[in-house]
Amino acid sequence: MARFWTAVAIGALAGLGAGLYLRAQLMDGGGGALRALLARAGLVQPLAESGPLQAAWHYVHALQEGDWDAAIDRTLWMQERLGVAASSGGAEAEMEARRALRAQLASRNVEGNRLRPEGVEDQYVFTPAATVRYLGSDSGAEDLEAPVGKRVWMEVSYSEKSLALLDRDAVPIQRLRVGVNVSAEGQVLKASIIGNLNIDKTTISTNWGMAPGGS
Protein backbone atom coordinates (compact mmCIF):
# COMPACT_ATOMS: atom_id res chain seq x y z
CA MET A 1 0.00 0.00 0.00
CA ALA A 2 2.85 2.37 0.83
CA ARG A 3 4.32 1.76 -2.62
CA PHE A 4 0.96 2.55 -4.21
CA TRP A 5 0.65 5.93 -2.49
CA THR A 6 4.27 6.70 -3.27
CA ALA A 7 3.54 6.05 -6.95
CA VAL A 8 0.45 8.26 -6.76
CA ALA A 9 2.47 11.08 -5.21
CA ILE A 10 5.18 10.79 -7.84
CA GLY A 11 2.56 10.83 -10.61
CA ALA A 12 0.91 13.91 -9.16
CA LEU A 13 4.22 15.74 -8.93
CA ALA A 14 5.06 14.75 -12.51
CA GLY A 15 1.70 16.03 -13.70
CA LEU A 16 2.18 19.29 -11.84
CA GLY A 17 5.64 19.70 -13.32
CA ALA A 18 4.33 19.02 -16.83
CA GLY A 19 1.53 21.51 -16.31
CA LEU A 20 3.93 24.21 -15.16
CA TYR A 21 6.21 23.46 -18.11
CA LEU A 22 3.34 23.75 -20.60
CA ARG A 23 2.19 27.01 -19.07
CA ALA A 24 5.74 28.38 -19.16
CA GLN A 25 5.98 27.44 -22.82
CA LEU A 26 2.72 29.27 -23.53
CA MET A 27 3.63 32.31 -21.47
CA ASP A 28 7.09 32.98 -22.85
CA GLY A 29 5.91 33.94 -26.33
CA GLY A 30 7.27 30.76 -27.86
CA GLY A 31 5.75 27.34 -28.21
CA GLY A 32 3.48 28.41 -31.07
CA ALA A 33 3.01 24.87 -32.33
CA LEU A 34 2.34 23.62 -28.80
CA ARG A 35 -0.13 26.45 -28.21
CA ALA A 36 -2.02 25.64 -31.40
CA LEU A 37 -2.06 21.91 -30.65
CA LEU A 38 -3.42 22.41 -27.13
CA ALA A 39 -5.98 24.96 -28.29
CA ARG A 40 -7.27 22.69 -31.04
CA ALA A 41 -7.55 19.89 -28.50
CA GLY A 42 -9.66 22.18 -26.32
CA LEU A 43 -7.10 22.02 -23.50
CA VAL A 44 -6.11 25.67 -23.35
CA GLN A 45 -6.95 29.05 -24.76
CA PRO A 46 -3.75 31.08 -25.24
CA LEU A 47 -3.66 33.56 -22.36
CA ALA A 48 -7.35 34.20 -22.93
CA GLU A 49 -8.86 33.48 -19.56
CA SER A 50 -11.87 35.78 -19.37
CA GLY A 51 -13.75 38.68 -20.92
CA PRO A 52 -12.68 40.17 -24.28
CA LEU A 53 -9.58 37.98 -24.49
CA GLN A 54 -11.61 34.80 -24.25
CA ALA A 55 -14.24 36.17 -26.64
CA ALA A 56 -11.58 36.96 -29.27
CA TRP A 57 -10.12 33.47 -29.01
CA HIS A 58 -13.54 31.83 -29.25
CA TYR A 59 -14.20 33.89 -32.39
CA VAL A 60 -10.91 32.88 -34.01
CA HIS A 61 -11.45 29.23 -33.11
CA ALA A 62 -15.00 29.31 -34.54
CA LEU A 63 -13.71 30.60 -37.89
CA GLN A 64 -10.91 28.04 -38.02
CA GLU A 65 -13.32 25.21 -37.24
CA GLY A 66 -16.05 26.42 -39.61
CA ASP A 67 -18.49 26.95 -36.74
CA TRP A 68 -20.29 29.77 -38.51
CA ASP A 69 -23.11 30.09 -36.00
CA ALA A 70 -20.61 30.62 -33.17
CA ALA A 71 -18.82 33.28 -35.23
CA ILE A 72 -22.13 34.99 -36.02
CA ASP A 73 -23.12 34.97 -32.35
CA ARG A 74 -19.79 36.66 -31.47
CA THR A 75 -20.02 39.46 -34.08
CA LEU A 76 -21.94 42.60 -33.14
CA TRP A 77 -22.94 43.80 -36.60
CA MET A 78 -24.18 40.32 -37.51
CA GLN A 79 -26.26 40.18 -34.35
CA GLU A 80 -27.71 43.59 -35.22
CA ARG A 81 -28.59 42.37 -38.72
CA LEU A 82 -30.39 39.37 -37.25
CA GLY A 83 -32.25 41.67 -34.85
CA VAL A 84 -33.44 43.90 -37.69
CA ALA A 85 -34.58 40.86 -39.69
CA ALA A 86 -36.46 39.46 -36.69
CA SER A 87 -38.19 42.76 -35.92
CA SER A 88 -39.28 43.28 -39.51
CA GLY A 89 -40.09 39.73 -40.63
CA GLY A 90 -40.19 37.48 -37.60
CA ALA A 91 -38.41 34.21 -36.95
CA GLU A 92 -38.41 33.07 -40.58
CA ALA A 93 -36.74 36.30 -41.73
CA GLU A 94 -34.18 35.94 -38.97
CA MET A 95 -33.36 32.38 -40.05
CA GLU A 96 -33.01 33.51 -43.66
CA ALA A 97 -30.63 36.28 -42.59
CA ARG A 98 -28.60 33.76 -40.57
CA ARG A 99 -28.40 31.42 -43.58
CA ALA A 100 -27.09 34.31 -45.68
CA LEU A 101 -24.44 35.14 -43.08
CA ARG A 102 -23.38 31.49 -42.89
CA ALA A 103 -22.96 31.43 -46.68
CA GLN A 104 -20.93 34.63 -46.55
CA LEU A 105 -18.56 33.21 -43.95
CA ALA A 106 -18.22 29.90 -45.79
CA SER A 107 -17.38 31.65 -49.06
CA ARG A 108 -13.90 31.05 -50.48
CA ASN A 109 -12.55 32.46 -53.75
CA VAL A 110 -9.23 33.68 -55.12
CA GLU A 111 -10.16 37.36 -55.21
CA GLY A 112 -11.51 37.27 -51.68
CA ASN A 113 -8.22 35.78 -50.46
CA ARG A 114 -6.28 38.98 -51.27
CA LEU A 115 -5.45 41.51 -48.57
CA ARG A 116 -6.45 44.88 -50.00
CA PRO A 117 -6.07 48.40 -48.58
CA GLU A 118 -9.70 48.15 -47.43
CA GLY A 119 -9.00 44.91 -45.55
CA VAL A 120 -9.98 41.27 -45.99
CA GLU A 121 -12.77 39.09 -44.66
CA ASP A 122 -11.74 37.40 -41.42
CA GLN A 123 -12.35 33.84 -42.63
CA TYR A 124 -9.47 34.24 -45.11
CA VAL A 125 -7.10 35.12 -42.27
CA PHE A 126 -8.18 32.59 -39.65
CA THR A 127 -8.19 29.47 -41.79
CA PRO A 128 -7.71 25.88 -40.56
CA ALA A 129 -4.15 26.09 -41.94
CA ALA A 130 -3.25 29.17 -39.89
CA THR A 131 -1.28 29.10 -36.66
CA VAL A 132 -2.51 31.85 -34.34
CA ARG A 133 -0.40 33.14 -31.45
CA TYR A 134 -1.58 35.60 -28.82
CA LEU A 135 0.67 38.68 -28.52
CA GLY A 136 -1.07 41.08 -26.15
CA SER A 137 -3.88 43.61 -25.93
CA ASP A 138 -4.47 47.34 -25.84
CA SER A 139 -7.35 49.78 -25.50
CA GLY A 140 -8.36 49.33 -29.13
CA ALA A 141 -9.63 51.49 -31.96
CA GLU A 142 -11.86 54.50 -31.43
CA ASP A 143 -15.16 55.49 -33.07
CA LEU A 144 -16.34 51.93 -33.68
CA GLU A 145 -19.95 50.77 -33.41
CA ALA A 146 -19.58 50.22 -29.67
CA PRO A 147 -16.95 51.00 -27.02
CA VAL A 148 -13.96 48.66 -27.17
CA GLY A 149 -13.18 46.58 -24.09
CA LYS A 150 -9.87 45.30 -25.47
CA ARG A 151 -8.16 44.97 -28.81
CA VAL A 152 -6.48 41.57 -28.85
CA TRP A 153 -3.35 41.31 -31.00
CA MET A 154 -2.38 38.00 -32.57
CA GLU A 155 0.31 36.79 -34.91
CA VAL A 156 -1.01 34.67 -37.76
CA SER A 157 1.36 32.48 -39.73
CA TYR A 158 0.98 29.94 -42.53
CA SER A 159 3.05 26.84 -43.19
CA GLU A 160 2.38 26.50 -46.92
CA LYS A 161 2.15 29.07 -49.70
CA SER A 162 -0.78 27.28 -51.28
CA LEU A 163 -2.82 27.73 -48.08
CA ALA A 164 -1.77 31.28 -47.23
CA LEU A 165 -3.50 34.63 -47.40
CA LEU A 166 -2.27 36.65 -50.41
CA ASP A 167 -1.22 40.29 -50.52
CA ARG A 168 -2.73 42.68 -53.04
CA ASP A 169 -0.23 41.47 -55.69
CA ALA A 170 -1.20 37.83 -55.06
CA VAL A 171 2.06 37.06 -53.23
CA PRO A 172 1.58 34.52 -50.39
CA ILE A 173 1.95 36.04 -46.93
CA GLN A 174 3.95 33.96 -44.45
CA ARG A 175 2.99 35.93 -41.32
CA LEU A 176 1.26 39.09 -40.14
CA ARG A 177 -0.22 40.64 -37.01
CA VAL A 178 -3.90 41.40 -36.62
CA GLY A 179 -6.03 43.02 -33.94
CA VAL A 180 -9.52 41.91 -32.94
CA ASN A 181 -11.54 44.68 -31.27
CA VAL A 182 -13.93 43.24 -28.71
CA SER A 183 -16.57 45.06 -26.69
CA ALA A 184 -16.81 44.70 -22.93
CA GLU A 185 -19.83 42.46 -23.60
CA GLY A 186 -17.69 40.06 -25.64
CA GLN A 187 -18.80 41.04 -29.15
CA VAL A 188 -16.32 41.38 -32.03
CA LEU A 189 -16.52 44.87 -33.56
CA LYS A 190 -16.09 45.87 -37.19
CA ALA A 191 -12.86 47.87 -37.61
CA SER A 192 -12.26 47.74 -41.39
CA ILE A 193 -14.18 48.46 -44.56
CA ILE A 194 -13.76 44.79 -45.46
CA GLY A 195 -13.70 42.42 -42.51
CA ASN A 196 -13.49 43.17 -38.81
CA LEU A 197 -9.74 43.22 -38.22
CA ASN A 198 -7.13 45.88 -37.64
CA ILE A 199 -4.14 44.70 -39.66
CA ASP A 200 -0.65 45.93 -38.81
CA LYS A 201 0.69 46.24 -42.34
CA THR A 202 4.23 46.85 -41.06
CA THR A 203 4.34 43.24 -39.85
CA ILE A 204 3.37 41.59 -43.13
CA SER A 205 6.11 39.19 -44.22
CA THR A 206 6.29 37.37 -47.54
CA ASN A 207 9.73 35.94 -46.72
CA TRP A 208 9.17 32.21 -46.40
CA GLY A 209 12.79 31.30 -45.71
CA MET A 210 12.90 27.82 -44.20
CA ALA A 211 9.15 27.61 -43.61
CA PRO A 212 7.63 24.28 -44.76
CA GLY A 213 6.10 24.63 -48.19
CA GLY A 214 7.99 27.87 -48.73
CA SER A 215 10.20 26.77 -51.56
Read off the DSSP letter of residue 162. Answer: G
Determine the 3-state secondary structure of 22 from DSSP.
helix
- State the Cα–Cα distance between residues 193 and 140, nearest whole angstrom: 17
pLDDT at 213: 58
- State the Cα–Cα distance between residues 107 and 12, nearest whole angstrom: 47
Tens of each residue's pLDDT in the chain, 215 residues: 444 333 333 343 343 333 333 333 333 344 445 444 444 443 334 444 458 889 999 999 999 999 999 999 999 999 999 999 999 999 999 999 999 999 999 999 999 999 999 999 999 999 999 999 999 999 999 989 999 999 999 999 999 999 999 999 999 999 999 999 999 999 999 999 999 999 999 999 999 986 655 54
Q: What phi-psi label fits residue 91: left (phi over 0), alpha (psi between -120 and 50 degrees) or beta?
A: alpha
Determine the 3-state secondary structure of 55 from DSSP.
helix
Domain definitions of the chain by residue range:
30-205
- State the Cα–Cα distance between residues 43 and 149, nearest whole angstrom: 25
pLDDT at 4: 33
